[in-house]
Chains A and B, each alone.
Chain A
């Protein structure tokens, strides 16, 4: 509790640096996010994070559902930063995993995850290695893991294609890449409220919630990173909060507060309160709660392997589509 009360004392300026997501940079030198700040925020989140966050838990479950669809087993799994605890818990229960590498850029987050892992350790035979590292500089040897999972972490990377390419290199042939990132519709209510409040109080806007990754980009990203059999699907979760301030508390506990490199670090109390008021008046439901949308994009991709199915060469077909149509009687 000490940690919590400490953060409450901080000025409101921290409160409304809200979640933002990456536009894709083609230039790796382009700095959109302050990774160092993100590490600090995640250090802080390690102390604030509740044991079972329903949103993170649901996303982790959904992501790992995809593993159950595969007949293949994954002896070595690498878990990239993001919501670590739900993922490691579920991965360990999954069974087929023998060696688990857990990675995050925040030491405190990782230590918390390690403690939770060992606290619930019931003499299973999963080798776990905890590792502080940056997704943009993946310290994993080429072709060494069977599975890479990233749950709500990759949207903070400056160079998302680069991070995905590094993940692909780390995978063995026929290895699976699974990722969940926040997508374009996330926090649209907050975005609107922030913009309106800033226009009203300050006569201009600065990015509080940054441009987001769109669903169509996700497929392009997978293809660009060289994954085969790419798959993308989207889920939207609406979380209901008692007030807009509770939403911000939640974002902070998840470590998803704003880390834009060029963000305006001053937020007037006035503007913050106006944002909360606008949020409440525009979006609150009949029962008095305020909803917040979280759009999650799930991506799956495989590292290339000769055993995988692929499209035949263009022009190699020998049967006319008209014949097929005739054969099946033109049911449509």
Chain B
């Protein structure tokens, strides 16, 4: 069996779809080539890849800015949650 270990990225993407999920929501992750990071769309957090090693500790994740957050309904969900919180605190 011949495997080319140098091609880190394609294998990473494959393993990503096979095995890795978001550590918090357990939903699939998406690889973003532009920022070289793994993005969890379900909670709007990006996890960096340093030197070919994905860092999936929740503390390493960055919350994405609103314009990056993919789906508009995420925002509405968030705002309803906020409203609920406000109601609770009121």
Chain A residues within 8 Å of B, Cβ to Cβ: 36, 39, 76, 99, 101, 105, 107, 110-111, 114, 121, 125, 127, 129-134, 137-142, 144-145
Q: 12 additional contacts, CB 8 Å, given A36-B59, A137-B57? A: A76-B19, A107-B55, A121-B5, A127-B11, A129-B11, A131-B54, A132-B60, A134-B57, A134-B58, A137-B24, A137-B56, A140-B19
Chain B residues within 8 Å of A, Cβ to Cβ: 1-3, 5, 11-12, 15, 18-24, 26, 29, 50-60
- The secondary-structure label for the interface of chain A is mixed
B56 to chain A, nearest CB (A): 4
Bound CA–CA A121/B3 (angstroms): 13
Instruction: Give 10 closest A-B pairs by Cβ, nearest first.
Output: A137-B23, A139-B23, A132-B55, A133-B56, A139-B56, A134-B57, A125-B1, A141-B21, A144-B19, A130-B53
A101:B19 contact, CB within 8 angstroms: yes
Bound CA–CA A142/B3 (angstroms): 26
14 residue pairs bridging A and B, Cβ less than 8 Å apart: A110-B53, A111-B51, A111-B53, A114-B53, A125-B2, A125-B3, A129-B11, A131-B53, A132-B54, A132-B55, A137-B23, A137-B56, A139-B23, A141-B26
B40 to chain A, nearest CB (A): 9
A111 / chain B contacts, CB cutoff of 8 Å: 51, 53
Bound CA–CA A182/B11 (angstroms): 36
In the complex, which residue of chain A has the Cβ closest to the Cβ of B12?
A129
A36 / chain B contacts, CB cutoff of 8 Å: 59
A132 / chain B contacts, CB cutoff of 8 Å: 50, 53-57, 60
Bound CA–CA A36/B57 (angstroms): 10
B1:A144 contact, CB within 8 angstroms: no
A64 to chain B, nearest CB (A): 22
B44 to chain A, nearest CB (A): 16
A141:B60 contact, CB within 8 angstroms: no
A107:B50 contact, CB within 8 angstroms: yes
A138:B55 contact, CB within 8 angstroms: no
A141 / chain B contacts, CB cutoff of 8 Å: 18-21, 26
Bound CA–CA A127/B11 (angstroms): 9
| Interface-central residue, A101, A141, A145, by most chain B CB under 10 Å | A141
A295 to chain B, nearest CB (A): 29
B21:A139 contact, CB within 8 angstroms: yes
Bound CA–CA A137/B58 (angstroms): 8
In the complex, which residue of chain A has the Cβ closest to the Cβ of B20?
A139
A139:B22 contact, CB within 8 angstroms: yes
A145 / chain B contacts, CB cutoff of 8 Å: 19
Bound CA–CA A311/B56 (angstroms): 40
In the complex, which residue of chain A has the Cβ closest to the Cβ of B58?
A137
In the complex, which residue of chain B has the Cβ closest to the Cβ of A78?
B19
A127:B19 contact, CB within 8 angstroms: no
Partner of B3, one of A127, A129, A133: A127
A131 / chain B contacts, CB cutoff of 8 Å: 20, 53-54, 56
Bound CA–CA A111/B52 (angstroms): 10
B57 / chain A contacts, CB cutoff of 8 Å: 39, 105, 132-134, 137
Bound CA–CA A37/B2 (angstroms): 42
B3 / chain A contacts, CB cutoff of 8 Å: 125, 127
B51:A140 contact, CB within 8 angstroms: no
B45 to chain A, nearest CB (A): 12
A140:B21 contact, CB within 8 angstroms: yes
In the complex, which residue of chain A has the Cβ closest to the Cβ of B19?
A144
B22 / chain A contacts, CB cutoff of 8 Å: 139
